[in-house]
Amino acid sequence: MDNYAPDAGKLKLMFVKAFDEIKQRYDDWKGVKAADVQKAYFAAKTKKTGETEVLDSTGKTKQDDEAFILRSTRS
């Protein structure tokens, strides 16, 4: 998670680059932002400061449900 969750995480940057290149092949995905798709990977919550905290959770939280809903709408 440390290489993915931070904005400058290696895996996150690699994902954004690959997603932005590949989505151009599919009309349904052309207008989708990588950041919106990434929300489905980890549950997260927004702190009072506005900062997003990625959660290492159990799979049974409201934030997990929100991540699942995003994933399942693109299935």
Report the alpha-carbon distance of residue 29 to residue 19 in Å, rounded: 9
Helical (H) or strand (E) element with 69: helix 62-73
Q: Tell me the pLDDT tens digit for each residue of 18-54.
A: 999 999 999 999 999 988 887 655 666 678 887 777 7
Burial class (CB in 10 A: 0-12, 13-18, 19+), 43: buried
Statement: residue 55 has pLDDT above 80: no
Q: What is the mean pLDDT of the chain?
A: 74
Q: How many Å apart are CA 20 and CA 15, to the nearest integer?
A: 8
**pTM as predicted:** 0.55
> At residue 75, does pLDDT exceed 50?
no
